Amino acid sequence: MRRKHLFYTLVLLSAFMGAITTSLDLVIVEEWVRDPLVYGNSLFIAGVIVCFFFALFLSVKVKGKNLGQAFDPSFNRLRMIRRKELKYHIFSGLGNACSTLAYVSLFTFFTDPSTVLPFYQIVILYLLIIESVSEKNSPTMAELQACITVTFGAIMVSLSLGEINSSGLLIMFLVMNPASAVFSIYQRKLKSLRIDEKSNDSINIRFWNLVFTALFINVILFFLAPNALWDTVLVLRSHFGIIGLNMFISTIAFILFIRSLGMAKASVVQAIRSSSLVFVIPISIALSQFSVANPTFLLIKIMGIVLVVMGILSFSLTEVKSFLLIKTKRGFSVKRTMENVWNIKGIDSVAMVAGEYDLVARVRTRTLGKGYKEIVNRIEEIEGIEDFSWNSTLKEWENV
C-alpha cells in the first residue's frame, strides 16, 4: 500500500473512533457515573482488562500468522515490557494520566461532545513548539499558519451559546494539552524503538501504556480524592459492559494512532486527527445535545470545521523530501563532516557509506526555497565537502 494512503486511512479511522468514544464518555458521565474522576479511573482499569484479552486474542496464530498483524505487521505477541522502553512508558503514562484526569474534569463544565473534543486539538501548538526544540526542525510559515488555522477553527467549533468558561479553558490550556503533548511525543519515541530487530508494535505499546496510566491515575487519586478509589470498584461492578466497550473502541483508535505516529512527525498526525471534529458534529446532533435552535452558533461551528479542514490540508500537502549525495575532501575526517551535516536543520538522517559517495543524507523541508536557504548554504560552508548533489524525491514508497 502506498505509504501516504495508509497513513491518512489510519489517522482518519482513528479520528472517527475518537469521536465516538468522546460522545460515549459524555453520555456515560451524564447518565450513569456522576463523578468524572471515578469515571476516568474506571476507564483505565477496564481498559487494562479489555486490552489484555484483546491482545491475547490477537496473539492467536492462524496459519503461522497472528491476527494482530492485520492491525500492525510488526506485532508478534503480547510480551513483557523491555528495559529500554521503561523510561518512555513512565513519561507517556504520566502524561496520559494527567491529561485524562483534566479531560474528565472538563465534563463538569461542558456537556456537548462537539465542545469538548476540539480542546484536544490544541495540543498541536505544544507539539510544534516541542518539536522545534527537540527535533531541530523549526516550524515554517506554512506550518505555523496551518497550526493557527486549526487552533482557531477548534476554538470556534467549541463555542457554545455565548459563554466562555474560564476555569475550563485554563484546565485545557495548562494541564490537558501539555500533558497530552508529552504523551504523544513519548508514544512516538516508543514506536520508533526497535525490539528484537523489528520496529516496536503499537498493540504492546497501547497495553503497557494503559497499565502505566491506570497506575499513575490511582496514585494521583490516592492523594487527591481517596474516596474515588472505592467508588471506582463499585462503578466497575455495575457498568463494566459499557465502559469496557468504550475502552475497546478507544484502544483500537489508539493502536491506529500509534502506528501512524511511527510514520510522521507528531504534529502532522495530530493535525489530521483534528478531523475527528468533522465526525463529532453528526454524532452530537444524533445525541440531540446540539443547539439546533440557534442557527448562528451552527454557522460558527461549521466555519470552525472548514478552518480545521483547510489547516489540515495545507499541512499535509506541503512537504519536500530530497537526498543529498556528498563527496568529502581527502585529508578531512569524514566523521566530523558527517556530524557537521547532521547539525543542519531539516536533515532527517545521515549515513556514512562505502561506494562512489561518502555520505548520503535525507532532507525533509516544507518548501524547496527553505531547503536552499537553510541547507545548501550551510552545506557549502562545511570545509570537508568536496562536492554534493541535491536529488529531490519525486515519489516515495516506504515499508511500514
Partner 1 sequence: MMGIYIMIIARPGEIRGIINELRKLEHLDNIAIITGEYDIIAKASLDSMDEVADLTDRVNQIKGIKRTHTHMVEREISL
Question: What residues numbered 194-213 form the site for partner 1, per CB under 8 A?
Answer: 197
One of 4, 310, 342, 367 touching partner 1 (CB under 8 A)? 342
Q: What's the closest the beta carbon of residue 299 comes to partner 1, in angstroms?
A: 43
| Rg over CA atoms, the chain | 23
Q: Which of residues 236-275 bind partner 1 (CB under 8 A)?
A: none
Q: Which stretch binds partner 1 (CB under 8 A): 37-45, 60-68, 93-101, 344-352?
A: 344-352
DSSP β-bridge partners for residue 364: 321
Total residues at the site for partner 1 (CB under 8 A)? 33
Minimum CB distance to partner 1 smaller for 215 or for 334: 334
> Site mask, partner 1, residues 361-380, x = CB under 8 A?
-x------------------
Does residue 78 contact residue 272 with C-beta atoms inside 8 Å? Answer: no
**Least CB distance to partner 1 at residue 144 (A):** 21
* 135 Cβ contact partners less than 8 Å away, ≥ 6 residues apart: 265
**Do residues 114 and 290 make contact, with C-beta atoms less than 8 angstroms apart?**
yes
For helices 227-261 and 36-58, what crossing angle results, to 10°?
50
Find the binder of partner 1 among 71, 240, 323, 332 (CB under 8 A): 323
Of these, 166, 226, 293, 356, which contacts partner 1 (CB under 8 A)?
356
Report the relative pairing of strands 198-199 and 194-195 from DSSP bridges. Answer: antiparallel
H or E segment at 24? helix 3-31
Pairwise CA distance, residues 211 & 147, whole Å = 32
CB closer to partner 1, 167 vs 392: 392
Q: Is residue 390 within the footprint of partner 1 (CB under 8 A)? A: yes
DSSP character at residue 332: S
How far apart are CB 73 and partner 1 at their closest, in Å?
A: 13
391 binds partner 1 (CB under 8 A): yes
Q: Does 357 bind partner 1 (CB under 8 A)?
A: yes
The strand pair at 61-62 and 65-66 is best described as: antiparallel
State which of residues 218, 348, 367, 370 lies at the interface with partner 1 (CB under 8 A): 348
- Which member of 195, 360, 367, 376 binds partner 1 (CB under 8 A)? 360
In this complex, which beta carbon is closest to partner 1, that of residue 300 or of residue 360? 360
Show the site string, 292-321: x = touches partner 1 by CB under 8 A, - = not.
Answer: -----------------------------x
Instruction: Write down the least CB distance from residue 362 to partner 1, Å.
Output: 8
**b/e burial code for range 313-339 (CB count within 10 A of at least 16 → b):** ebbbeebbbbebbbebeeeeeeeebbe
**Per CB under 8 A, which of residues 49..68 are in contact with partner 1?**
none
Decide: 124 and 151 in contact? Cβ < 8 Å. yes
Choose the binding region for partner 1 from 214-222, 268-276, 346-354, 366-374 (rule: CB under 8 A).
346-354
Phi, psi (deg, nearest 5) at residue 359? -135, 140
Phi, psi of 147 (to 5 degrees): -65, -45
Q: How many CB atoms lie within 10 A of CB 382?
A: 19
Contact set for partner 1, span 70-99 (CB under 8 A):
none
Strand partners, 160: 163
Rounded CA-CA distance 325/225 in Å is 59
Q: Which is nearer to partner 1, 377 or 389 (CB)?
A: 389
Q: Is 322 in the site for partner 1 (CB under 8 A)?
A: yes
The interface region with partner 1, picked from 167-175, 276-284, 295-303, 383-391 by CB under 8 A, is 383-391
Nearest distance in Å: CB 351, partner 1? 4
Maximum pairwise Cα distance, the chain: 77
Smallest Cα–Cα separation from 93: which of 188, 214, 222?
214
Q: Applying CB under 8 A, which part among 59-67, 162-170, 296-304, 384-392 lies near partner 1?
A: 384-392
What is the closest distance, in whole angstroms, from the C-beta atom of residue 163 to partner 1 in the complex? 43
Q: Which of 117, 115, 113 is nearest to 283 (CA)?
A: 113
DSSP characters for 27-62?
A: HHHHHT---HHHHHHHHHHHHHHHHHHHHHHHT-EE
Q: Does 167 bind partner 1 (CB under 8 A)?
A: no
Residues that bind partner 1 (CB under 8 A): 135, 197, 321-323, 325, 335, 338-339, 342, 348-357, 360, 362, 389-399
